[in-house]
Amino acid sequence: MSEIKQLDSNINITNNWQKTCAAEDWSKPEFKYVLENIFTGNASYHRKQWEFVAIFINLIQQGKLDGNSVGASFGAGKEPLIYHVLPYVKSFLATDLYSWNTGWDTAKMNPNEQPIDFLKRNAPKNSRLDNLKAQEMDMRDLSEIESNSLDFCYSSCAVEHIGHKEDFIKHLTEVKRVLKKDGVYVMTTEFLYNHSTIPNKGNYKFDIDYLKQLFIESGLNTQPIFDAGCEENRLNVPRAFVRPLVGGKNMEKLLASAAILDIEGVPYTSCCFVLSPSEESTPSSFQVNGLEQSAEFIKKRLLNNVKNLYSSRRNLDPFYSLNKNTRLYLDDHITFRTNESNKNPIKLDRANFCFTDFVYFGAGNVSISINYKLEKHKGRINWKVVEKYPMEIKQKTELFTKFIKHSGKTDCQTIQFNFKADPEKVYAIIGQIAPKEMRKNDIKLNLTSLSVTALMKPVD
Q: Pairing relation of β-strands 179-192 and 150-156?
A: parallel
Q: In Å, how far from its chain's centre is CA 349?
A: 27
> What global pTM score does this model have?
0.90
Question: pLDDT band at residue 411, thresholds of 50, 70 and 90?
Answer: confident
Contact 95, 73 (CB under 8 A): yes
| Cα 215 to Cα 225: distance, rounded to the nearest angstrom | 14
Band (pLDDT 50/70/90 cuts) for residue 65 is: very high
The strand pairing partners of 366, in sequence order, are 419, 456
Q: Which of 44-48, 151-155, 333-337 has the highest mean pLDDT?
A: 151-155
Beta-bridged to residue 458, according to DSSP, are 364
pLDDT for position 281: 85
Q: What pLDDT, in 10s, does the model give residues 300-346? A: 999 999 999 999 999 999 988 876 544 344 344 444 434 444 434 33
Residue 87 pLDDT > 60, yes or no? yes
Tell me the domains of the chain and their CATH numbers. Answer: 2-307 (3.40.50.150), 314-458 (2.60.120)
Q: For residues 402 and 384, give the distance between their C-alpha atoms in angstroms, rounded to a whole number.
A: 7
Give per-residue pLDDT as tens, 180-200: 999 999 999 999 999 999 999
Question: What pLDDT digit, counting tens, does each position of 203-246 carry?
Answer: 999 999 999 999 999 999 999 999 999 999 999 999 988 888 98
CA distances, 179 to each of 90, 140, 144, 186, 223 (Å):
16, 15, 13, 12, 16
